[in-house]
Structure 1
Amino acid sequence: MQKLVQETHYTKEQSEHTQQTPVHIVDSIMGAGKTSWSIQFMNEADPDKNFLYITPLLSETQRVKEGVTNRKFATPVPKGKNKGKFINLKELIVNDRDIASTHALFQKADEELIDLIKAGNYTLILDEAMEVVEECKLLKDDFQWLYDSGMVKVDKDTGLISWNREGKYQDTRYKDIKTLAESENLYFFENKVLFWTFPISVFKAFKEVYVMTYLFQCQQQKYYYDMYNLEYSYKAVQKLPTGEYTLINHKNKEPYDKTAIKSLINIYEGKLNNIGDDKTAFSKSWSGKKQNKHLIEKLQKNITTYFKNNVKTPTELNMWTCYKAYVPKLKGKGYTKGFIACNARATNAFKEKESLAYTVNRFMNPYEKKFFISKGVEVNEDMCALSELIQWIWRSQIRDGKPINLYIPSKRMRTLLKDYLESEW
């Protein structure tokens, strides 16, 4: 079978239209007051402005709905058999409502939603950077059929996939591929991987955009913005003597004094760490290798020992994580119910947790990493891993200034955290 693309050269994509939407990255450490600032900002905003507040979890929309007293926020709900949340989101925008919703629903954005946002007077507040590039699962033979039948074309320079609207196979089971290709959000990479990218035109449809996060410089959304040459400014939250919050230029913020934070984290140092000296130990690929089966069993015993004999905290105060596929192999008495996904963020639901076990060694998807690099974007894999680790730790009681115990068996991840705690950024 002939390859779809014989030779591909990747360059940065140029935007179709000149960007006019101001995009602000509000980059401040957890607990600095980003959400408090956003609530204040929306309360004080001109009544003619409309807001779309997007957060990772549905439960977190309630804080905004209760905190913004000068506006009445709505949350999309399904209405009838053929009217799901996404349709209701569009109806709310048509009616100029202020809306609080989730990353998952927002990621479904299509051309109609983009046009509706453009027609409104909407400001986007994005609580935490979101997944904007994903591997699209499609069997290679299926894609080969779409290519051979003339339904899709692949740009030899960019890898961008386009859909042939004149082709004879319009109504197929590949409607999802058709939708992505028509909105120019699908790429073919290295003759084997399809990548979906969130429509960059969504961000350009708003009057203004605020992304509230920490360590944006090493997050996927930053690489995505750079790939599309989307300009953004760095801001930081500052609390005033009056108790109010304001935004300042990020370069003018005071360096973070991590002395207090460092004193709150009791990082385990002992023989239970011996299992994680290898650089790739506990990575997703390492965990899946048959030869590491007994090491996985040893890790499970180490986690149990840590909670039972080292920290001795009650079950309800224990928190742990691993790759989801390995929960059945690593769960154990005294901590199983305290599992929290390693990519958890923007939630206060676990702020009573005192003792933590982080058994993940995070690396970027190798194809995703190569995909960004092929677009001329610099990536920092270690910083990406550190960013996710810090976000996970801050789900615990440290967010309230209370001490925590922490077991990180991966030497790589433990070193990244310790280096961070010694730094001023």
Structure 2
Amino acid sequence: MMNENTKIKSITIGTGVTYVSKKKYIYVTPFLNEVTRVINDTKAIFSEPSVKFKGSKLAHLKLLIENGESIVMTHVLFSMLDEETLDDIRIEGYTLIMDEVANVLEQLKTTSKDINYLLRLNSISIEAKGQVRWIDDDYNKNLNNSFDYLRDLADTDNLYIYNDQAMFWTMNVKAFTSFQEVYILTYLFDGQIQKYYYDLHEVQYDKFSVKYENNKYHLINYDSKADKREEVGKLLNIYEDYRQDTGRKSILNSNYDDFRFNVNTDFYLSSTWFSKNKEDSIKQLNKNLYSYFRTQVPTKNENIFWTTKKQYASKFKNAKTKFNKKDDRTKDNFISLNIRATNDYANCTAAAYVYNRFMNPLEKGFFEIRGIVVNEDLLAVSDLVQFLFRGCVRNGEVMNCYIPSSRMRNLLYDWMEYKI
């Protein structure tokens, strides 16, 4: 679309054709290497904000917008857009193309004690939908600048409260409504936090599927059957303790916890489960990971990728599942739980997802108390599918998967059968 919406600016002997965009685009991606790829693959000139301009990418971004240039940048930089810059975007008439959903909600490090203190001093007021306003004109004198960041967020309409328990930063909704058109490139949008954020702000949107026809991609009316999930299901070799095709039995999905106490296994491997410090179970899971990649599906380390909640990842480090504590991902095969939009693991033929994904209870309550229906199962399977599609299955190749959480496996099977 960006390449089609160009026109010839000039033709120069020796250097060829120079194109310019008919529209003004801002393309947002999670990764810096994707910024480079988009710049290289577009006909027209797209600019990347540089720190070389006054030592600030944000200052350069503002200048590029004022000049009406087409821009490629990261999600992190996009989240820094202020009110003035968003007004410039609206005036210039930009189209936004966002590769994957943005981080639009973040819980702040405030306590209920902080909140009660501010309310008691009449420093803040709570308005419609829980939006926080700063009303204390004598703030600097009364509070010693301790809550500068909260005041600043309130002044930019980015501060919300939940049940007097927690405060949240939310992205200014003008980050989307200031554009003439917005395209969000993602999958299973109905299960994602940005969808609930749009509902909160009454932002209207339409969903589409993508169809490849006549050597070109087209947007068509949304149809889940266009996903061809049954074809994906045939490529995923999901480990089960009992395999009907071979008759062999193992217990890697069920030997890490004690089933004698009639516990609901739907919550095994959730954040709450991990927080209970089940050292013996975690040690057994570590052994399972090694066994799976060493004997069940013998795989070279460079063809493995795996994940769990990051704070527990070091406990699963072994000869097959590598984890670098200094976050140097070039020295391990660990990837983050919410990874998206990267092709770096397309050569990997085996994967392990050692987690049971639920929505943060405070985030869930933040939306539900405002009458917004949250689908935790769809959120979970969305993250799982995104994770799996980092591997070779994206190239139409068979991939081995170890998913010890029974809930996550069942959700994946439901997804394959269009039940979710």
| TM-score scaled by length of structure 1 | 0.84
Pick from 166, 177, 201 the counterpart of residue 204 of structure 1. 177
| Alignment partner, residue 137 of structure 2 | 166
**Residues 41 and 299 of structure 1: is their aligned pair in 2 closer, same or farther, counting only changes over 3 Å?**
farther
| Alignment partner, residue 245 of structure 2 | none
**Residues 173 and 218 of structure 1: is their aligned pair in 2 closer, same or farther, counting only changes over 3 Å?**
same
2:6, 2:22 within 8 Å by CA — same for their partners in 1? no
| Alignment partner, residue 31 of structure 1 | none
2:306, 2:335 within 8 Å by CA — same for their partners in 1? yes
Mapped to 2, the partners of 1:73 and 1:402 lie a distance apart of 35
| Alignment partner, residue 344 of structure 1 | 339
Q: RMSD over aligned Cα, in angstroms?
A: 2.2
* CA displacement at 1:154 relative to structure 2: 2.0
Mapped to 2, the partners of 1:95 and 1:172 lie a distance apart of 37
Q: Deviations over 1:259-289 (max 9, x none)?
A: 3212211111121001377111111121011
* CA displacement at 1:328 relative to structure 2: 1.3
Pick from 142, 147, 150 the counterpart of residue 177 of structure 1. 150
| Alignment partner, residue 56 of structure 1 | 30
Task: Summarize the alignment of residues 410-425 of structure 1 with structure 2, pairs less than 5 Å apart.
Answer: 410-423=405-418
3-state SS of 1:176 partner: helix
What percent of counterpart residues are identical?
A: 36
Matched, 1:286 2:286: no
1:255, 1:424 within 8 Å by CA — same for their partners in 2? no
Question: Which protein has greater RCO, CA pairs closer than 8 Å, 6+ apart?
Answer: 1
2:162, 2:365 within 8 Å by CA — same for their partners in 1? no
3-state SS of 2:71 partner: strand
Pick from 187, 197, 209 the counterpart of residue 214 of structure 1. 187
Pick from 354, 379, 382 the counterpart of residue 384 of structure 1. 379
| Alignment partner, residue 372 of structure 1 | 367
| Alignment partner, residue 395 of structure 2 | 400
1:43, 1:68 within 8 Å by CA — same for their partners in 2? no
Letter in 1 for 2:293: F
3-state SS of 1:325 partner: helix
Q: Computing the radius of gyration over CA atoms, which structure comes out larger, 1 or 2?
A: 2
1:39, 1:64 within 8 Å by CA — same for their partners in 2? no
Task: Summarize the alignment of residues 11-410 of structure 1 with structure 2, pairs less than 5 Å apart.
Answer: 38-40=1-3, 47-69=21-43, 71-79=44-52, 83-155=55-127, 158-164=129-135, 166-169=137-140, 172-241=145-214, 243-251=215-223, 255-270=226-241, 271-274=251-254, 275=256, 278-290=265-277, 292-336=278-322, 337-410=332-405
1:150, 1:167 within 8 Å by CA — same for their partners in 2? no
**Residues 48 and 260 of structure 1: is their aligned pair in 2 closer, same or farther, counting only changes over 3 Å?**
closer
Q: Which runs of 4+ in 1 moved over 6 A?
A: none
3-state SS of 2:27 partner: strand
**Residues 39 and 398 of structure 1: is their aligned pair in 2 closer, same or farther, counting only changes over 3 Å?**
farther
2:24, 2:68 within 8 Å by CA — same for their partners in 1? yes
Q: Deviations over 1:52-98 (max 9, x none)?
A: 101111221122111111x1112222136x64222222121112121
Mapped to 1, the partners of 2:189 and 2:38 lie a distance apart of 23
Letter in 2 for 1:288: S
Q: Deviations over 1:88-112 (max 9, x none)?
A: 2212111212111111111122212
Letter in 2 for 1:315: N
1:342, 1:388 within 8 Å by CA — same for their partners in 2? yes
Q: Deviations over 1:217-242 (max 9, x none)?
A: 1111111111111111122222222x
2:237, 2:401 within 8 Å by CA — same for their partners in 1? yes
Name which of structure 1's ranges 316-325 and 176-185 shifts more when overlaid on structure 2.
176-185
* CA displacement at 1:43 relative to structure 2: 5.1
Mapped to 2, the partners of 1:368 and 1:168 lie a distance apart of 29
1:39, 1:67 within 8 Å by CA — same for their partners in 2? no
* CA displacement at 1:321 relative to structure 2: 0.3
**Residues 49 and 167 of structure 1: is their aligned pair in 2 closer, same or farther, counting only changes over 3 Å?**
farther
1:133, 1:195 within 8 Å by CA — same for their partners in 2? yes
Mapped to 2, the partners of 1:246 and 1:369 lie a distance apart of 35
Mapped to 2, the partners of 1:85 and 1:381 lie a distance apart of 36
Letter in 2 for 1:60: E
Mapped to 1, the partners of 2:151 and 2:79 lie a distance apart of 17
- Gaps (5+ residues) in structure 2? 8-18, 242-250, 258-263, 323-331
1:311, 1:405 within 8 Å by CA — same for their partners in 2? yes
Letter in 1 for 2:379: C
Mapped to 1, the partners of 2:146 and 2:108 lie a distance apart of 15
| Alignment partner, residue 4 of structure 1 | none
**Residues 356 and 288 of structure 1: is their aligned pair in 2 closer, same or farther, counting only changes over 3 Å?**
same
Q: Deviations over 1:321-345 (max 9, x none)?
A: 0001001111111221110101000
2:305, 2:350 within 8 Å by CA — same for their partners in 1? yes
1:152, 1:161 within 8 Å by CA — same for their partners in 2? yes
Mapped to 1, the partners of 2:2 and 2:292 lie a distance apart of 40
Letter in 1 for 2:41: G
3-state SS of 1:378 partner: coil
| Alignment partner, residue 16 of structure 2 | none
| Alignment partner, residue 24 of structure 1 | none
Q: Deviations over 1:108-162 (max 9, x none)?
A: 222122112112121000111122111111244444444344332223x532110
Mapped to 1, the partners of 2:301 and 2:109 lie a distance apart of 38
1:40, 1:245 within 8 Å by CA — same for their partners in 2? no
Q: Deviations over 1:161-215 (max 9, x none)?
A: 1012633428824332122101222112111110111111221111111111111
